[in-house]
Structure 1
Amino acid sequence: MAWLQLRISSAHPEFVEEILLGNGAVGVSFIDGEDRPVLEPLPGETPLWENTVTLGLFYDNVDLAPAQDALRELLPDGDTVTIASELIEDQDWVRAWLDHWHPLKFGEHLWVAPTEKIGEINDPEAIILKLDPGLAFGTGTHPTTALCLEWLSHQDLTGKTVLDYGCGSGILAIAALKLGAAHAICVDIDPQALTATENNAKENGVLERIRVMLPADFVPFPADFVIANILARPLISLAPLLASSVNAGGKIVLAGLLERQQEEVREAYATWFTSEPDQIKEGWTRLAGVCRIPSLISYVHISNTIATAGQPQAEHFALLARAGYKTVINLAVPTSSNFMPNEVEHCAQQGLDYIHLPVAWNNPTREDFEKFVTAMKSLSDSKSFIHCALNKRVSVFVFLYRVIELGETVEVASQEPQQIWAPNEIWSKFKHDMLAGFKP
């Protein structure tokens, strides 16, 4: 099998590896000016010669342009960095990696080691995470991963639920499970990362406690711990989603950002989290914080009397009441993965009226919409908070209500729903059919 290789000459090789891995590289190694290989470094370690060259390995069908663009954008010397690409033949990367790497310790008793090196660990209380090398995904030796493992080793994870967003090999979620967490949800954009995570979870005896999924299948839920070891730009764009996926008092740890990017990332999360002290290693920063109040999923302020969102958490109902809302309308079905069975009790405790109008995801009907219209008309001009699981059902129903009942134009009423999603075939047809019989 042939591979594509990027050869990068930069004054900042300590940053190049993370950028490559975040843009599709399946392996990274370092050489000096005379091509002496160092392979993957130990945690917190990046070999530095007068002329360090970083090699990024990619599958031969990968478009290298995104990785090249990211290098030029994110590296401090991106304007002058030298990048070359070539097609190379396969070799025994695994054997070379094993010869180089030995068990690694994080905190008091957490160890990461390849299977054949476990015998080197002399610690009767060792918590061992077995991670064998493969061409796909990291082995936990980058400084950002080391920072996260060190942080996890000092947390009380017993019985907790963990979300690892951008899981890669799954090393952080698996470490959390080995340290006592009850369950972990692992999300990644790459199906191969999810396969690697499942394989590593099976090898470590935690497969039954882990679930993997693509971002499109992820539904925010109140986790106790959220881990995101990715790059600064996606960390910023994901802030509302990740902040809606942790419970009040839960913790978040963010890594994969350069020291110069930490303030921008911290600011993106400041609305929801109280920051803990930063940790910096070789130019890479780890941010952590405690959630004061979770974000509402896909929250949209429609008007002075209507707001919409995905499933709220328990803490949100008091905020809604203080904001002057009188009624909560829920269009989610009880089988939705983040459905709150006792939502009516939470509303009652805050003096909120509760209306449940379940709408089947795969079969919205005219009758459903008519019930919704009747409910809305009964509320007069009082403030209503309308939600479902992810604000997708609601965005369509509220759009139709605004056009058909309130007389707004399609163009105006479409602005907010477009922030939420592009309706699938079923919901596009439902919108079309409902509007077809409407005459302004």
Structure 2
Amino acid sequence: MSVNLKQEGQWLEQEKRNVALKRARELKSRIKDYLDNKQNIPNGFEKQAAFAQAKEKILQYFGASEEQWDDWRWQMANRIKDVQVLGQLMNLSAEDMNLIDQVGQHYRWAVSPYYLALVIISGLTGPIGKQAIPSIKEIEDHSGVEDPMGEEFTSPAPAITRRYPDRLIINVTNQCAMYCRHCQRRRNIGEVDVHKPRKVLQAALDYIRENEEIRDVLITGGDALLLPDKQIDWLLTELDRIPHVEIKRIGTRTPVTMPQRITPTLCAILEKHPPIYINTQFNHPLEVTPEAKTACDRLVKAGVVLGNQAVLLKDINNHPDVMKRLNQSLLQIRVRPYYIFHAKNVKGTGHFITSVEEGIAIMDQLRGYTSGLAVPTYIINAPNGYGKTPILPQYVLDRKDNYITLRTWEKRVIRYPIDGQH
């Protein structure tokens, strides 16, 4: 009898294994399309040979050295903002240059040499070029508004934007390493880079001191990390001295557009002022490069917690496979995908805006198809400064009696008790 029990046990174990193997085959089939397409969505690590060629071309044009390339001040001083220079570096046609020049008369543009190397890889109309180089569509778009967030009406003190009960923004500069074509604050760019003067920042700090419910302060711009090191240190020190401020956040795209800015000196300053959270904005896998990784490694070593706030942009990342590759690549460099923002209806940026349905479809193809760490929250910013609203696929289909009807990531429909007890 013991022999029969043993054989029955072995048979039962094999049946369980057969069920598991069948399920594993099902799961493998669900990711096959992505794996087949993944090779068509390279990240910056996989394009290093092409990047090196583009970098060398730029260095030769400027007669610059590797040491200069690695200096963020050189990168800032040599931002490409002249269409003739851009034309030579990218071999543009006279027609392309004329169109860029037309847009430049209305909207400022500038690209760091580092990011231009990525543009050259991507091409003028590629996912990197579209973010950096002016398009004639910017001046053909008459649908948007200059300030869809109503920031002018949510500023109770100089340089302050307040949309929530316990947190606010200090806007410290209009300067960026690159002027993104989809920028939500393009109205602030102007023609001259200007940091907020100390007296304005003092007034902002006074407001924070007077409002004890403020526990979270976001320093942004422009790009907050383009302030001088001493100014950053001073501002963080002042915030540390306010007892009710629990955390500081910094908004910056320099790890993406000019990673050379993340110097050991800057990181030593940041390390002095924990806790600091930095949210950056990688929008495409090509932006995840070895240089970006070096910058992020330095920040992590300094104790900074890194997150990413991508913007959903038409013909750049509005595809589930592109967003999945981006988020998985970010986790490899220790940047946690935090938000996907639906593009705001800013004047001159309408050609970037996708449908909300596209965003929901992307979220539907992330949840369950990749690790939860690679699944950010899809956000629509309510117009006129009423804050972030999360948008999710519909997982609760019905609610009745003591049960809700759910659909899983595989679209299986199940009943689940409301009290959680089966």
Give the structure, 1 or 2, with the largest relative contact order (CA under 8 Å, sep 6 or more): 2
| Greater strand proportion | 1
